[in-house]
Amino acid sequence: MRILVTGGAGFIGSAVVRQAVTDGHDVLNVDKLTYAACLENLSSVEEAPNYTFLKADICDADSMAAAFEGFQPDAVMHLAAESHVDRSIDGPGAFIETNITGTYTLLQAARAYWEKRGKPDNFRFHHISTDEVFGTLGAEGMFTEDTPYAPNSPYSASKAASDHLVRAWSETYGLPVVLSNCSNNYGPFHFPEKLIPVVILNALAGKPIPIYGNGENVRDWLYVEDHADALLTVLQRGELGRSYNIGGENEASNLELVKMICSILDELHLGTDPYADLITFVADRPGHDLRYAIDPTRIREELGWRPSVTLEQGLRKTVQWYLDNEVWWKALQSRIGVGERLGLKS
């Protein structure tokens, strides 16, 4: 399959590109290379004959039209986005621009290309989204594909808007789309501003490990390589027009998660004091959703997909990866905003 991937230099996009190239697909990675991008994530596949990189902005209609015409994809996997909730609180404009206008621009380019080729049935536009579009849960319940949208942050609102655009392009123009909404990802190449790398890297540096609020916020953690596998499954076998919730079946509160990472670090790395001594509670994020949990019944029963690792197994692999890849994360720590507390405006 010829797959045009947007955002392939980011955390999840690069996992998708690595897996798709390894599986033998022809991949064009379209990425603007924002602060969150890292082409080193793709060093294992950059020389592969079935991999090509194009530096371009999904908001640029001419570049997107040229990318479609030049590459002639069978499918699009759209991951390019501004993705950090804290940054969306301080500067929502970039989120509106890329996540909404960019998705609109990409949909129009895909539609023009698909119509010009005679509307082939086997074309796919796969939009990758988040469970955050559903808002927050209380102590009980899970998000299904039918849960009403109720986004609470500028990030999740912009992703919700993009999901609606994709649906509308399917209903109105017949564009063959599939959507997926997944829970929090973690794993190798996770940008050092996100919770799990912050915990690992602060612990290694002997710095306080910040936990927002009381640490009782619950997330359903999904190992990134499992997510990449699920996305390629949805792309190839998902039913047209349908959305799929993808979860890790691994719920944990932030405090439980951080304690797990600290005890893995205690085991794998020779520190003197327990790393959990560094845990420090800090001011909560405005609008911080209490709990996300995914009901993965549809993807499990219709597509036979399940995550391959437990949270404990995935965290162990992740911690070991950060211990082994200091050169990678050290280079990113000087990028703008990394290591600062962002998103306190309310």
Ligand X SMILES: NC(=O)c1ccc[n+]([C@@H]2O[C@H](COP(=O)([O-])OP(=O)(O)OC[C@H]3O[C@@H](n4cnc5c(N)ncnc54)[C@H](O)[C@@H]3O)[C@@H](O)[C@H]2O)c1
**What is the set of active-site residues?**
131-132, 155
33 binds ligand X (CB under 6 A): yes
Contact 36, 18 (CB under 8 A): no
218 binds ligand X (CB under 6 A): no
107 binds ligand X (CB under 6 A): no
- Single residue of 27, 37, 231, 315 touching ligand X by CB under 6 A: 37
Cβ-based neighbours of 315, under 8 Å, separated by 6 or more: 186, 196, 257, 260, 261, 264
* Residue 81 Cβ vs ligand X, minimum distance, rounded to whole Å: 3
What is the 8-class DSSP label of residue 201?
H
130 binds ligand X (CB under 6 A): yes
Which 3-state string (H, E, C) describes 104-152?
A: HHHHHHHHHHHHHCCCCCCCEEEEEEEHHHHCCECCCCCECCCCCCCCC
- Single residue of 28, 45, 64, 182 touching ligand X by CB under 6 A: 182
d(CA 114, CA 120): 7
Site map (CB under 6 A) of ligand X, residues 64-83, x = contact? ---------------xxxxx
Give the burial string for 150-169 (b: 16+ CB within 10 Å, else e): ebbbbbbbbbbbbbebbeeb
- E strands, the chain, in order: 2-6, 26-31, 51-55, 75-78, 124-130, 177-182, 185-186, 209-212, 218-220, 222-223, 243-246, 251-253, 279-282
- Single residue of 58, 110, 209, 211 touching ligand X by CB under 6 A: 58
d(CA 18, CA 96): 28
34 binds ligand X (CB under 6 A): yes
Cβ-based neighbours of 324, under 8 Å, separated by 6 or more: none
By beta-carbon proximity to ligand X, the closer residue of 34 and 108 is: 34
31 binds ligand X (CB under 6 A): yes
* Residue 102 Cβ vs ligand X, minimum distance, rounded to whole Å: 5
- Single residue of 71, 113, 191, 292 touching ligand X by CB under 6 A: 191
By beta-carbon proximity to ligand X, the closer residue of 26 and 82 is: 82
d(CA 94, CA 82): 7
257 binds ligand X (CB under 6 A): no
59 binds ligand X (CB under 6 A): yes
By Cβ distance, which residue is nearest to ligand X? 10
- Single residue of 3, 4, 5, 12 touching ligand X by CB under 6 A: 12
* Residue 265 Cβ vs ligand X, minimum distance, rounded to whole Å: 21
By beta-carbon proximity to ligand X, the closer residue of 182 and 257 is: 182
Residues engaged in binding ligand X (CB under 6 A) = 6-7, 9-13, 31-34, 36-37, 57-59, 79-83, 98, 102, 128-130, 159, 182, 184-185, 191
